[in-house]
Copies of this chain bind each other. A is one copy, B any other.
Amino acid sequence: MRGRWMKHKERLAEYAGMVEAGLDRLLPLDGLRQDQVMEAMRYSALGGGKRLRGAFMLEFCRISGGDVQAALPYACAIEMIHAYSLIHDDLPCMDNDDMRRGKPSCHRAFDEATALLAGDGLLNRAFETAVSEEAAGRLDAARVLRLTRELAGAAGFYGMIGGQCIDLAYDGRMPDLATLNELIALKTGALIRVACRMGCIAAGASEAQIAAADTFAARLGLAFQIRDDMLDVEGDASVLGKATHADERQGKTTYPALLGMEACRQEVDRLTGEAVEALDQFADREFLTELAWSLTSRLK
């Protein structure tokens, strides 16, 4: 069991390395007058994060029989979108967070204007990457279009940004469980779901497989957020790389606040079980199964 998990950890590290190298290449510093903002884009997009979204995309592509290299630009694009959302979320007018991934948040390391533009730059660069000649070189135009359409939909007003908007609308008020579920499904869930879907689409998987990947991601995304909320209560700030009890301080409604810690633990297990069940559409599901269960007890 332990040996097998080590093997999986190596694959996860390999995917993270591919995404990191891809981002390094797609976000070059090349002596332009505007390079200060590229430095901020690189500061936030490189050298940190679990790269789970990228890894999910690449693995779903692989187990759907696709060319992982063809999915790589999209894995990088989704990580750019994730990074931009964190930069803008951390800004003083939003969550006003000073730390992120164990280092000062972008606007603390640079300044607010630079962080604003770095976020804009990463969001825009994600779409440049998605429709680039490089991306289109390995896939036909119709598939590139569908991938970009899925990405844009999940990141936008009807996806991740929509979740941030609801978060903002309920700032200081206590949403009920239905509202919190909707908020999380959009704010965190949409990007995780689309990562898994896009891996399948890049590989030309069947609609049944795309739907299964979607279910896997929806369940796991919610479990992931609940675990995140739990870590804000019981985690170790030095391991997490950011302050704990931030939700409480900011008056945010969280799953532990609504359900209590013990019920959260059970929810995480139940949802992860359902996520893993959805994988029965795929023959080679060992890595995703182990990864999903490993996330239930993660410490950061």
Contacts and interface: CB of A to CB of B under 8 A. Distances in A.
Given A34-B166, A145-B141, A169-B34, A128 B112 contact: no
A107 to B, nearest CB: 8
Counting contact residues on chain A (CB < 8 A from B), the size range is 35 or more
Interface stretch (A116-124, A216-224, A279-287): A116-124
Contacts of A148: 127, 131, 148
Contacts of A72: none
B33 A120 contact: no
Nearest to A93: B112
Interface stretch (A16-24, A154-162, A254-262): A154-162
A40 to B, nearest CB: 9
Contact of A113 (B93, B119, B128, B163): B93
Oligomeric state, in number of copies? Answer: 2
A111 B132 CA distance: 35
A117 B32 contact: no
Contacts of A113: 93-94, 168
A168 B124 contact: no
Contact of A124 (B94, B131, B145, B155): B155
A152 B165 contact: no
A34 B142 contact: no
A166 B164 CA distance: 29
B127 A152 contact: yes
A144 interface: yes
Given A142-B141, A157-B38, A165 B125 contact: no
A68 interface: no
A37 interface: yes
A32 to B, nearest CB: 7
Given A38-B157, A166-B34, A116 B93 contact: yes
A250 interface: no
A25 to B, nearest CB: 14
A123 B121 CA distance: 11
Contact of A117 (B132, B140, B165, B186): B165
16 contacts: A32-B162, A34-B165, A34-B169, A34-B186, A36-B169, A88-B116, A93-B111, A93-B116, A121-B157, A124-B152, A124-B156, A125-B156, A131-B148, A133-B149, A145-B145, A148-B148
Given A121-B157, A131-B145, A141-B141, 11 more contacts: A33-B182, A34-B161, A34-B166, A93-B113, A119-B120, A121-B161, A123-B124, A127-B152, A128-B149, A131-B131, A141-B142
